[in-house]
């Protein structure tokens, strides 16, 4: 009872532990998912920040401003501009971590007949040279001219226009050049006018094939190897144009259900606002010659447009293991499986410990019962032997008939004592592993005859009606004859002891062929007490005695059947029993029969 309460408490504790574990792992997984998400977003942000930072640095470097107080009104040459370009180029190169980003530098302004013209800055000669329009700028030029025509000189393009992904998908930065009017013009009424554009053409091949992959590798190490994330960058204007993909096989899935996404390839205006460009004052010391009429400014517009989050490109990223949720989910399932396995092991170990403890307790109890039983069993024959001896010694018994009777009594009790001592010794031998069987081919009939001869006195004393059915020509079996005779004897003596008032025993021996091949079966049947269903699973345990026989005070020590079982199993056979209380019992010894060849050689 106490044990079952303990088991119930332990099981409840295990169930509680499992529930807590399950919940706790749910929370841990959720936290892990959040952590992975925010770390991924932070990495994506840093990557795009670094990319845009480089663009912004270029923008700052070539973002000039001319002060017309100093510029003068001369037209026709670009000396000031060329000096500025040469100077800023040098400065930019000195600090640029990716100097190959800038491919070319152009200047765009209006000629005398209000046509847009373009000049390329020659870095060797440090001169601006009129050039033809690069093909990729043709579109931009067309739309820009259109706008100028529609809105006249009052049109003032913004940074945003220059980089708007819905307008352009070019590797160019278009930077307006502003001119600060003379103080007398009234700075508030006349904001800086735009006199032309610096166009920085980026190296598209370097940008897409080296710069972007290098950033991807840095922020998502091993992106091209077996990194945890797959990454795709596409043009926002034309999403079919893939700029970079770390794993082409996963691209479709990355784009359809990304773990994180960001747009970039834009200027980080916030970094530009109210700050002079890297070390540049923005003030022009020696102005060049610009045509003042080419003023693109419209009064009243803010000098710098508000920051715009858009970019020309879009980055999408996804965990290779499916998605972050899937990855965390499968890690959680794995953890749960491990934890539950550990809990199950714990539960199993606890159950095993309880079972072993119960068995040990039972064994200890049985041993105590055994000691008590054996002492009791010894006392009766010893008392009989002593009193018989005393009577004989005192000369009380003189009559020949009585002496014979006393002799028989002493002999019987002596046999009982011998049998008990032998059983105890045999049990001790089996337990310690010292019992060695001498295996020889034997005729089953011989075994039966010897066992019956040994039991003769018991059978006679109990006045048993013995019925035998022994098949002729039984196959040979292999075994230790002493041990096997002892086993049959044990079963016979049990049948006599527990055979009740019917005093009938049947001994059968036959050869049968079953699933395990040919075997010899020796069956001993009685019509006595039978065995209760609750006792049946335990009767082969050492020291176990049925409740009915204990109550009926039938002598015994509970060792016989355990000895039979050990001996028969050591011979490769088995013992089976069929019994119903009040009806009787049938014990059968099954022995594997020796193959015919072995039998021939034995004859």
Contact assessment for residue 321 and residue 136, using Cβ atoms and an 8 Å cutoff: no
Q: 414, 393, 424: which is closest to 457 by C-alpha?
A: 414
Kindly tell me which of 482 and 550 has the beta carbon lying closer to ligand ADP: 550
Rounded to whole angstroms, how far apart are CA atoms 314 and 239?
Answer: 8
Rounded to whole angstroms, how far apart are CA atoms 289 and 558?
Answer: 124
Binding site for ligand ADP (CB under 6 A): 494-495, 498, 526, 528-531, 535, 539, 544-546, 549, 556-562, 585
> Shortest gap between Cβ of 584 and ligand ADP (angstroms)?
7
Contact assessment for residue 516 and residue 479, using Cβ atoms and an 8 Å cutoff: no
Contact assessment for residue 305 and residue 269, using Cβ atoms and an 8 Å cutoff: yes
Rounded to whole angstroms, how far apart are CA atoms 322 and 257?
Answer: 9
Kindly tell me which of 317 and 420 has the beta carbon lying closer to ligand ADP: 420
> Shortest gap between Cβ of 525 and ligand ADP (angstroms)?
9
> Shortest gap between Cβ of 536 and ligand ADP (angstroms)?
9
> Shortest gap between Cβ of 12 and ligand ADP (angstroms)?
38
Kindly tell me which of 306 and 371 has the beta carbon lying closer to ligand ADP: 371
- Burial code (b: 16+ CB inside 10 Å, e: under 16) for 96-134 equals bebeebbebbbbbbbeeeeebbbbbbeeeeeebeeeeeb
Reported as type and span, the H/E element at residue 377 is helix 324-393
Kindly tell me which of 294 and 531 has the beta carbon lying closer to ligand ADP: 531
Rounded to whole angstroms, how far apart are CA atoms 491 and 565?
Answer: 11
Kindly tell me which of 259 and 526 has the beta carbon lying closer to ligand ADP: 526
Kindly tell me which of 70 and 535 has the beta carbon lying closer to ligand ADP: 535
Residue 598 dihedral angles phi and psi, to the nearest 5° = -65, -35
> Shortest gap between Cβ of 571 and ligand ADP (angstroms)?
18
> Shortest gap between Cβ of 5 and ligand ADP (angstroms)?
31
> Shortest gap between Cβ of 560 and ligand ADP (angstroms)?
3
CA distances from 532 to 86, 545, 546, 581 (A): 111, 11, 8, 5
> Shortest gap between Cβ of 370 and ligand ADP (angstroms)?
10
CB atoms within 10 A of CB 543: 21
Residue 506 dihedral angles phi and psi, to the nearest 5° = -120, 130
The secondary structure of 254-289 as a DSSP string is HHHS-SEEEEESS--HHHHTTS-STT--S--SS---
Kindly tell me which of 243 and 491 has the beta carbon lying closer to ligand ADP: 491
Kindly tell me which of 560 and 573 has the beta carbon lying closer to ligand ADP: 560
Kindly tell me which of 360 and 552 has the beta carbon lying closer to ligand ADP: 552
> Shortest gap between Cβ of 350 and ligand ADP (angstroms)?
32
> Shortest gap between Cβ of 565 and ligand ADP (angstroms)?
9
- Burial code (b: 16+ CB inside 10 Å, e: under 16) for 294-325 equals bbbbeeeeeeeeeeeeebbbbbbbbbbeebbe
Kindly tell me which of 388 and 559 has the beta carbon lying closer to ligand ADP: 559
Rounded to whole angstroms, how far apart are CA atoms 287 and 602?
Answer: 128
Kindly tell me which of 444 and 558 has the beta carbon lying closer to ligand ADP: 558
Taking the chain, what is the end-to-end CA distance rounded to the nearest angstrom?
61
Rounded to whole angstroms, how far apart are CA atoms 265 and 55?
Answer: 8
Torsional sign, CA 332, 336, 339, 345: negative
> Shortest gap between Cβ of 500 and ligand ADP (angstroms)?
9
- Token look-up 């003030």 returns 283
Side-chain-facing half-sphere of 218: CA atoms under 13 Å: 12
Kindly tell me which of 14 and 532 has the beta carbon lying closer to ligand ADP: 532
Q: 150, 147, 200: which is closest to 177 by C-alpha?
A: 200
CB atoms within 10 A of CB 228: 15
Kindly tell me which of 498 and 591 has the beta carbon lying closer to ligand ADP: 498
> Shortest gap between Cβ of 470 and ligand ADP (angstroms)?
20
> Shortest gap between Cβ of 567 and ligand ADP (angstroms)?
13
């Amino acid at each position: 009872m106490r044990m079952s309460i303990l088991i119930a408490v332990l099981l409840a504790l295990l169930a509680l532990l499992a529930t807590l574990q399950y919940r706790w792992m749910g929370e841990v997984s959720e936290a892990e998912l959040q952590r992975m998400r925010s770390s991924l977003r932070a990495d994506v942000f840093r990557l795009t920040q670094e990319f845009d930072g480089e663009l912004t640095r270029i923008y700052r470097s070539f973002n000039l401003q001319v002060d017309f107080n100093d510029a003068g009104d001369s037209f026709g040459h670009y000396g000031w501009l060329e000096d500025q370009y040469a100077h800023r180029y040098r400065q930019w190169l000195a600090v640029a971590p990716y100097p190959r980003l800038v491919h070319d530098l152009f200047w765009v302004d209006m000629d005398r007949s209000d046509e847009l013209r373009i000049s390329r800055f020659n870095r060797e000669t440090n001169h601006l040279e009129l050039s033809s329009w690069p093909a990729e700028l043709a579109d931009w030029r067309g739309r820009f001219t259109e706008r100028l025509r529609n809105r006249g000189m009052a049109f003032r393009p913004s940074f945003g226009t220059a980089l708007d992904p819905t307008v352009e998908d070019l590797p160019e930065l278009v930077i307006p050049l502003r001119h600060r009017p003379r103080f007398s013009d009234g700075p508030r009424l006349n904001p800086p006018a735009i006199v032309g554009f610096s166009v920085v053409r980026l190296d598209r091949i370097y940008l897409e094939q080296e710069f972007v992959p290098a950033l991807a590798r840095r922020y998502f190490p091993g992106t091209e190897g077996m990194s945890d994330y797959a990454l795709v960058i596409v043009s926002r204007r034309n999403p079919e144009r893939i700029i970079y993909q770390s794993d082409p096989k996963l691209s479709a899935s990355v784009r359809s259900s990304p773990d994180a996404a960001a747009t970039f390839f834009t200027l980080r205006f916030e970094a530009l606002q109210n700050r002079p460009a890297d070390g540049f004052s923005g003030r022009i010391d020696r102005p060049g010659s610009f045509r003042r009429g080419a003023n693109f400014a419209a009064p009243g517009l803010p000098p710098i447009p508000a920051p715009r989050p858009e970019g020309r490109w879009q980055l999408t990223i996804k965990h290779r293991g499916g998605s972050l949720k899937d990855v965390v989910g499968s890690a959680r399932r794995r953890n749960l499986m491990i934890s539950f396995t550990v809990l199950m092991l714990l539960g199993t170990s606890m159950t095993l410990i309880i079972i072993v403890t119960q068995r040990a307790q039972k064994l200890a109890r049985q041993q105590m019962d055994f000691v008590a039983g054996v002492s009791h069993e010894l006392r009766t024959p010893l008392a009989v032997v002593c009193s018989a001896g005393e009577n004989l010694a005192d000369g009380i018994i003189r009559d020949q008939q009585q002496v014979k009777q006393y002799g028989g009594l002493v002999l019987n009790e002596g046999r009982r004592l011998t049998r008990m001592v032998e059983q105890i010794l045999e049990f001790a031998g089996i337990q310690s592993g010292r019992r060695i069987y001498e295996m020889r081919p034997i005729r089953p009939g011989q075994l039966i005859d010897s066992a019956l001869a040994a039991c003769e006195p018991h059978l006679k004393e109990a006045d048993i009606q013995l019925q035998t059915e022994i098949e002729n020509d039984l196959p040979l079996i292999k075994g230790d004859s002493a041990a096997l005779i002892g086993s049959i004897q044990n079963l016979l003596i049990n049948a006599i002891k527990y055979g009740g008032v019917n005093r009938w025993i049947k001994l059968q021996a036959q050869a049968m062929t079953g699933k395990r091949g040919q075997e010899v079966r020796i069956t001993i049947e009685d019509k006595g007490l039978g065995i209760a269903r609750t006792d049946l699973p335990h009767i082969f345990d050492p020291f176990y005695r049925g409740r009915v026989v204990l109550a009926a005070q039938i002598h015994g020590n509970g060792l016989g059947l355990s000895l039979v079982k050990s001996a028969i199993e050591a011979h490769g056979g088995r013992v089976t029993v069929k019994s119903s209380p009040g009806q009787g019992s049938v014990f059968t010894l099954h022995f594997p029969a020796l193959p015919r060849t072995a039998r021939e050689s034995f004859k």
